[in-house]
Amino acid sequence: MPAQKTRKKLPPFKILSTTAILGYGFPESSFRNGLKKKPDLIAADAGSTDPGPYYLGAGKSFTNRLAVKRDLRLMIKAGLEKGIPVVIGTAGGSGARPHVDWCLDIVKEIAAEENLHFRLGVAYGDIEKATVIRALKENRIKPLAFVPELSPQTVEQSENIVAQMGVEPFIKLLKEGCQVVVAGRSYDPAVFAALPISLGYDPGLALHLGKILECAAIAATPGSGSDCALGILEEDSFILEALSPERKFSPQSAAAHTLYEKSDPYELPGPGGLINLRGCSFEDIGQGRVRVRGSRFVPSEDYWIKLEGVRLTGYRSISVAGVRDPIMISKIDSILRAVEKRARDIMKIAPEEGRIFFHVYGKNGVMGELEPVKKASSHELGIVIEAIGRSQEEADSLLAVTRSALLHHGYEGRLATAGNLAFPFSPSDVAMGKVFEFSIYHLMKIDDPYFFRTEIREL
């Protein structure tokens, strides 16, 4: 391509990633060190599906409001003062409209308190049910591994359906002069990669750098999710640099991060294509810095985005108790089976109407069915009794009956006839509210990567 040979060489593009998840915090000293490097972009990813389906379904953030406000205040003030764009992805933890609006409220509060005026870009990641159902009819939906095929009923039952947006909505907002961008559900690297890709940097390198920076200093050693990291993107490689003296990047730490939370470290799929790392090298260039080369972006024929959605599956109540009696511990499985049967008989509740789970810590509370050690050898057991009903009231009563049945169950050989459980708390039962489960984790083919809704607001 002769055009490339004659064009001007791109200068290093510096990206300051503040924290692994907005609200996890970062030391001000590291942030100041990052600002001294004159970054071209300040960005943070604010979300994850890791905390489970509840937060997406309930429209609540799993991060703390004051902590998010503290992080955002430092980032926005510095960004506006120095003319550096500030980009936030997957706002509010799950990136649906209630989460984005929650984050926007915080941004507006900061602007009012600090008397700041700027152009704010907003990108929503919500996908309407009708859009998904139409795509389903047009054969533009496919499940990810181990996920059931999607049906229109499942779509109808699902709440807060979002899709991971790629770099395009960010590029659009940044080109329109937004100084701060807050986006809904986003592909994690997009907040870091969008601006440099729009300036002509290699998308493979930019996205791979984004993949690492989205966890900030987790990829350094010692790793930390609440410390800043700097990425320097060049024409043919990128450099990772820690921003506090206690940490450094090593080829091992950077490469190890490429494995983290992914199914295949060589091919990382995302909106519109995948990052291929087969030719990738990690080189120690001294002073705790690592240079990475060879990451390639391979565009796919069609543009697929990942949908996420959850559905309400009931209401939960729990009770926590301990068991110290060795006779009871030796018979715990048969006792719990008998207690569940008793509770169901009393309540006349079938398994599909109300569910009872015993989480038996000291036996298999952590691994459940996967636990290879079958016989509990602990001298005490912790039991979390969990009931899920069709309403909170139903869950509460199923739990109460199960708890009292277990407390007074007369198992064979019992000596301790006054009670089987030690309750650490009064009240012993806690209503936990709605229970969600992931119902949509599918890819959807779209024609236009800019189809996500964007808005510009002047603050």
Q: How far is the CB of 172 from other proteins (least distance, A)?
A: 27
Answer for which of 10, 27, 51, 445 binds other proteins (CB under 8 A) is 51
321 binds other proteins (CB under 8 A): no
- With a CB cutoff of 8 Å and minimum separation 6, the contacts of 113 are none
Beta carbons of 104 and 97 less than 8 angstroms apart: no
52 binds other proteins (CB under 8 A): yes
Q: Which is nearer to other proteins, 171 or 388 (CB)?
A: 388
Beta carbons of 419 and 411 less than 8 angstroms apart: no
Answer for which of 18, 30, 33, 49 binds other proteins (CB under 8 A) is 49
Residue list 363-382, contact with other proteins (CB under 8 A): 365-370, 372
Q: Which residues pair with 382 in a beta bridge?
A: 322, 361
Q: Which stretch binds other proteins (CB under 8 A): 67-75, 234-242, 413-421, 431-439?
A: 431-439
251 binds other proteins (CB under 8 A): yes
Q: Is the peptide bond before 222 cis (omega within 30 degrees of 0)?
A: yes
Q: Which is nearer to other proteins, 366 or 416 (CB)?
A: 366
Q: Which stretch binds other proteins (CB under 8 A): 15-23, 24-32, 296-304, 359-367?
A: 359-367
The label of the residue with tokens 């050693």 reads 221
The C-alpha atoms of residue 260 and residue 262 are separated, in whole angstroms, by 6
Q: Which is nearer to other proteins, 147 or 431 (CB)?
A: 147
| Percent helix / strand / coil, the chain, rounded to 5 | 35, 30, 40
149 binds other proteins (CB under 8 A): no
413 binds other proteins (CB under 8 A): no
DSSP 422: B
Q: Are strands 41-45 and 381-389 parallel, antiparallel or unpaired?
A: unpaired
Q: How far is the CB of 147 from other proteins (least distance, A)?
A: 5
The C-alpha atoms of residue 276 and residue 300 are separated, in whole angstroms, by 12
59 binds other proteins (CB under 8 A): no
The C-alpha angle 146, 147, 149, rounded to 5 degrees, equals: 125
249 binds other proteins (CB under 8 A): no
Q: Which is nearer to other proteins, 266 or 425 (CB)?
A: 266
The C-alpha atoms of residue 128 and residue 190 are separated, in whole angstroms, by 22
Q: How far is the CB of 311 from other proteins (least distance, A)?
A: 10
Tell me the two tokens of residue 304: 């697929």
Q: Which is nearer to other proteins, 242 or 360 (CB)?
A: 360
201 binds other proteins (CB under 8 A): no
Between 15 and 44, how does the x/- string for binding to other proteins read (CB under 8 A)?
Answer: ------------------------------
Q: Which is nearer to other proteins, 199 or 432 (CB)?
A: 432
Q: Which is nearer to other proteins, 3 or 259 (CB)?
A: 259
Q: Which is nearer to other proteins, 18 or 295 (CB)?
A: 295
Tell me the two tokens of residue 431: 């209503």
Between 262 and 281, how does the x/- string for binding to other proteins read (CB under 8 A)?
Answer: xxxxx----------x--xx
Three-state SS for 209-265 is HHHHHCCHHHHCECCCCCCCEEEEECCCEEEEEECCCCCECCHHHHHHHHHCCCCCC
The C-alpha atoms of residue 175 and residue 210 are separated, in whole angstroms, by 19
Q: Which stretch binds other proteins (CB under 8 A): 33-41, 110-118, 247-255, 345-353?
A: 247-255
Q: How far is the CB of 270 from other proteins (least distance, A)?
A: 13
Q: Which stretch binds other proteins (CB under 8 A): 38-46, 145-153, 328-336, 397-405?
A: 145-153
Q: Which residues pair with 45 in a beta bridge?
A: 89
Q: Which is nearer to other proteins, 1 or 373 (CB)?
A: 373
- With a CB cutoff of 8 Å and minimum separation 6, the contacts of 267 are 274, 275, 276, 277
Would you say how long the chain is, in residues?
459
313 binds other proteins (CB under 8 A): yes
Answer for which of 261, 302, 393, 455 binds other proteins (CB under 8 A) is 261
Beta carbons of 33 and 217 less than 8 angstroms apart: no
DSSP 368: G
Chain-centroid distance, C-alpha 318: 25
355 binds other proteins (CB under 8 A): yes
Question: What is the chain's alpha carbon radius of gyration, rounded to the nearest angstrom?
Answer: 26
The contact set with other proteins (CB under 8 A) reads: 49-54, 144-147, 251-252, 255-256, 258-266, 277, 280-282, 313-314, 355, 357, 359, 365-370, 372, 388, 435-438, 441
